[in-house]
A and B are shown apart, each in its own frame.
Chain A
Amino acid sequence: MPKDGIGASTKRREDIRFLTGNGRYTDDINLRGQAYVHFLRSEVAHGRIRSIDTSAASAMPGVIRIFTAEDFGHAGGLPCGWLVTDRFGEPMQEPKHPILAEGKVRHVGDPICGIVAETLEQARDAAEAIELDIEELPAVVDMRKALEDNSVKVHDDLTSNLCYDWGFVEENKEAVNAAFAEAAHVVSVELTNNRLCANPMEARVAIGDYDPWNEQHTLYTTSQNPHVIRLLMGAFVLSLPEHKLRIVAPDVGGGFGSKIYHYAEEAFCTHVAKVLRQPVKWTSTRSEAFISDAHARDHVSKVELALDKDHNFLAIRSTTLANMGAYLSTFAPSVPTWLHGTLMAGPYKTPLVYVNVKAVFTNTVAVDAYRGAGRPEATFQLERIIDKAARELGVDGVELRRKNFIKPEQFPYQTPVAVEYDSGNFHATMDKMLELSNYANLDKRVEESRKKGKLRGFGISQYIEACGIAPSHLVGQLGARAGLYETATVRVNATGSISVLTGCHSHGQGHETSFPQIVADMIGIDASQIDIVHGDTATTPMGMGTYGSRSMAVGGSALVKATNKIIDKAKKIAAHLLEASEADIELKDGKFSVAGTDKSVDWAGVTLAAYVPHNYPLESLEPGLEETAFYDPNNFTFPSGCYGCEIEVDPDTGKVEIMAFTAADDFGVVINPMIVEGQVHGGLAQGIGQALTENCVYDENGQLLTGSFMDYTMPRADDLPVFKVDHSCFTPCTHNPLGAKGCGEAGAIGAPPAVVNAVIDALHRAGHTHVQHINMPVTPARVWAAMNSK
């Protein structure tokens, strides 16, 4: 095996340029003659635009032109990529999402004018000289109020603020209700999944460029999926054919979902560069990011669990209000439905599940997928209700979970919520977590904390999630307006080095290191011989990008497929060179040999023959060695695992300190264990951030109170413990060639309920048994208030 093959913890080659400040991010790109864009954004959450007078502003120094909605009359709205059908068979309400506000502004941050000037400060000066007359309208922020009959409507042309009323599985609704009516025990909890802002380190940037001589548009943008942006913007917004539109997403400084979507600023810069015959650049400020990047989560749910007298789970009923914000962001409708309802069985053999979701428009920033997307919301409901059930029934939460787990021998397992789990071993990951966290000695540690005046508790969360959403024909039936395959081209060069062109996009995931490990392993050459090319529609095959923990499971599988094609052809060439039958050719450690002989030719000998075909079977084989594969998976992959969080509460202040966090994950086959561990660390940090610190808060007028890092609390290194991470309990994915399941989101999915369960456990152990639930973020003030409320 080569030293950097599958399973090697190879150090990330891209980190050298990132850590030395030599990455090339979109804002590092400056084109000759570029102008700067500043957006005048709404300061009110809801208002009718009476007039916009740009005459004085247009005459200001350096101003090139000011654009309003009128300049985009020819363009379509920003499209939504997923159509949800409601429980009555009707399509969701789908309002237009204009590039610049048309007639009304619908959230603080809604762009009204785009000012293009020679310098950014000139553009900002001009923005202040624009005379805006906006009639402020009452804003609707609270989802329950938005659904009231007399509510203000976010979109005048819709019948209400209800986007859809979705039921899943609708046919099971009555059976679920009947199970609850007959159950020996019913447990319920109402909870919120707090609204978040992703806050990647790099804020969004868009640079539009236009080459009139070739009628060629180029957009440099901070995207997780350049081909998706090309398709959405080209086909639906600006009517540009793909061959005249190039999207480049160079180094991208984190996305977490927020850079999946097609944003107004991208279409603006692309179009305006052509109008002005001049490159235009927009760089978001951090303040702008808070009011223009898609937000996340924001669900209000009630979840109920029915159990029989022996504590077997009979049914789950989940009712959710999901905030869409003012417009439908690219994949927003899919998050509370197909990425949430399908996970409501969790790792348990609950026979009946019914999920109802009402998606609601409000005067807030659009909400869309963020690390986990729907699965954290499902997992939070399940693991909180099971925790509460164990307390109410007076049984051990570990045993209650074990009793209801799907057993290892039951896979593949068809859930009552459409999906079929291919593999998993929940007992194994739970046992591993309990072992690594020294759960057996917990009571002793609780006592030691008590002596120090601290309340210690332990929380468990057993999760299963779905990654690599697929297959395309199924997601098409579910409403996706895109396919969800992935692509790879393996371009072998004459002397044996390889360029891999992938449709995935790395923005922190380490593809430049882990993808070559697959090819190196399969061919038996050193990984340093292989480079990854990604992030440019002009050079890479049409791919769907990186999100949903899909890159390794789907993109990696495409890479395996393409590499197998390469190996097949290389064996034919080797057979010719060695004057042997193709069936007798073996490939090992980068060398082709004839079975049972000492005849061999090395990798470079074959690749050279492919490109210098002097001795080559030209009559039956084309020269060259380059293959492309598209891979469309048969099923989702289902990573799973068990998390244990141990905390101390300071009873004087309510402050929660995480003392230990243990993650035992089943990611299937792991390509680079070190990168996987890093992905888990990042996911856990964001999951703990959601549980303890992060929160987007609007006031009743739709003003964002947490519009900067002075009030929006990102988790910091000193909020986090040293994580214990294990992925030894793996069950390979059964339907992809790598056996890989995906690891990017697990931490953010599994961590929040573990943290909250731990806090509740600590309070109950200390006698605060009246505290049934605390909403996230579990801040010191909330814990103190809960302890002191009776």
Chain B
Amino acid sequence: MYAFDFVKPATLADAVTALGQDGAMPLSGGQTLLPTMKQRLNSPETLVSLTGITDLKGVRREGDALVIGAATTHAEVARDAAGDYPGLAALAGQIGDPAVRSRGTLGGSIANNDPSACYPAAVLGSGATIITNMREISAGDFFQGMFATALEEGEIITAIRFPIPERSAYAKFHQPASRFALTGAFVAQYAGGVHVAITGASESGVFRWSEAEAALSGNFSPDALNGLSVPAKGMIGDLHGTPEYRAHLAGVMTRRAVAAAS
């Protein structure tokens, strides 16, 4: 790890100021950034911790939505969202291991947009809104492919607003070593229709499986997916699975998520 300065501002405004300096990088839970720094693959001059900003933390109900601060840890979401949005809480409770869940944060995960991360599936599958210090971004616009998002320089995610579905579930097939999602499916049923978001599978990152959404909106049961499949083209192929295997798993995990939500 290279030497760096560390600041932990108490307000969003101070964080924005600190991030305006050359070579400054935001630090949330650090579950991705810190390992890359230890390997000297990242060399920020200043780390600006966001976890000291009270406004960025916590889970609160706002009407039909659950608003979760960006610096809320996975473990806190697993605990505090369980009553209002059990599908989301269950997803958070399956991320990594207890140590990761106690440090890693919602905002950090989606800002990184790892194509195998779990949270992007819930954010996209909920049609959530990403709230930043500058604006609000719909989930559909936010995720822009592997490790790419709509975030601008100096833009900080402050919270995510999740519309609460009638029912939902996440089914995850582990990449056995990292225990990220080799393929995961998040399914949520809303009055206006069913959302299906697939993570871990596509070279373009998290995506919505519209064919399955249409079928499930008419009949929310695993059988509604009979005959449907995700094309293997564009899926990730690596030593843990071929594109064909991931495409197949997308179907299996979607069925399992529907069954779990039913």
Contact = CB atoms under 8 A, between A and B. Distances in A.
B40 interface: yes
Interface stretch (B19-27, B68-76, B213-221, B237-245): B237-245
B176 A653 contact: no
Given A287-B39, A781-B241, A781-B242, A713 B249 contact: no
A287 B40 CA distance: 12
A705 interface: yes
Contacts of B244: 785
B173 interface: yes
Contacts of B1: 121
Given A121-B1, A653-B173, A693-B176, A711 B239 contact: yes
A706 interface: yes
B99 interface: no
A706 B245 contact: no
Interface in B221-262: 239-242, 244-245, 248-249, 252
B239 A712 contact: no
Contacts of B178: 709-711
B177 interface: yes
Interface string B168-181: 00000100111000
A291 to B, nearest CB: 13
Given A121-B1, A124-B40, A784-B248, A713 B177 contact: yes
Contacts of B173: 653, 655, 780
Contacts of B248: 784
A785 B245 contact: yes
A781 B245 contact: yes
A695 B242 CA distance: 17
Contacts of B176: 693, 713, 779-780
Interface string A659-685: 000000000000000000000000000
B259 to A, nearest CB: 12
A124 B43 CA distance: 14
Interface string A774-788: 000001110011000
B240 A653 contact: no
A655 B240 CA distance: 12
Contacts of B2: 121, 125
A697 interface: yes
Interface in B1-55: 1-3, 39-40
A781 B240 contact: yes
A653 B249 contact: yes
A652 interface: yes
A779 B239 CA distance: 10
A332 B239 CA distance: 27
A710 B177 contact: yes
Contacts of B3: 121
Q: How many A residues are at the interface, by size bracket?
A: 20 to 34
Contacts of A784: 245, 248
Contact of A706 (B39, B239, B242, B252): B239
Contacts of A705: 239
A779 B252 contact: no
Nearest to A695: B239
Nearest to A705: B239
Contacts of A779: 176, 240
Nearest to A287: B39
B177 A711 contact: yes
A285 to B, nearest CB: 9
Interface string A687-706: 00000010101000000011
Nearest to B40: A124
Give the one of B1, B40, B177, B178 with max A CB within 10 A: B177
Contacts of A706: 177, 239
Given A710-B177, A712-B177, A779-B176, A653 B252 contact: yes
Contact of B177 (A653, A709, A785): A709
A105 to B, nearest CB: 20
B102 to A, nearest CB: 19
Most chain A beta carbons < 10 A, residue from B176, B178, B249: B176
A62 to B, nearest CB: 13
Contacts of A128: 40
A292 B3 CA distance: 27
A781 B252 CA distance: 13
Given A287-B39, A711-B239, A781-B242, A652 B252 contact: yes
Nearest to A712: B177
A781 B173 CA distance: 11
A714 B252 CA distance: 25
B172 to A, nearest CB: 11
B40 to A, nearest CB: 7
B228 to A, nearest CB: 15
Interface string A749-790: 000000000000000000000000000000111001100000
Most chain-B Cβ atoms within 10 A of its Cβ — which of A128, A697, A713, A781? A781
A714 B1 CA distance: 26
Nearest to A697: B239
A713 B179 CA distance: 10
A434 B249 CA distance: 36
A161 B155 CA distance: 56
A785 B239 contact: no
Contacts of A652: 252
Interface string B126-163: 00000000000000000000000000000000000000
Contacts of B252: 652-653
Contacts of B40: 124, 128
Contacts of A711: 177-178, 239-240
Nearest to B249: A653
A668 B1 CA distance: 52
A508 B241 CA distance: 35
A714 B3 CA distance: 32
Interface in A57-82: none
Contacts of A780: 173, 176, 241
Q: Which of A693, A695, A706, A779 lies at the interface centre, i.e. has the most chain B CB atoms within 10 A of its CB?
A: A779
A706 B178 CA distance: 11
Nearest to A128: B40
A780 B39 CA distance: 31
A652 B173 CA distance: 11
B243 to A, nearest CB: 11
Contacts of B239: 695, 697, 705-706, 711
Interface string A207-231: 0000000000000000000000000
B41 to A, nearest CB: 11
A705 B237 CA distance: 13
A653 B174 CA distance: 11
A695 B239 CA distance: 10
Contacts of A713: 176-177
Interface in B149-208: 173, 176-178
Contacts of A287: 39
B256 to A, nearest CB: 8
A780 B245 CA distance: 9
Contacts of A695: 239
Contacts of A693: 176-177
A90 B216 CA distance: 71
A120 to B, nearest CB: 10
Nearest to B3: A121
Contacts of B39: 287
Interface in A406-448: none
Closest 5 CB pairs of A and B: A713-B177, A781-B241, A710-B178, A713-B176, A652-B252
11 contacts: A121-B2, A128-B40, A287-B39, A693-B177, A695-B239, A706-B177, A709-B177, A779-B240, A781-B241, A781-B245, A784-B248
Given A121-B3, A705-B239, A706-B177, 8 more contacts: A124-B40, A653-B173, A653-B249, A653-B252, A710-B177, A710-B178, A713-B176, A784-B245
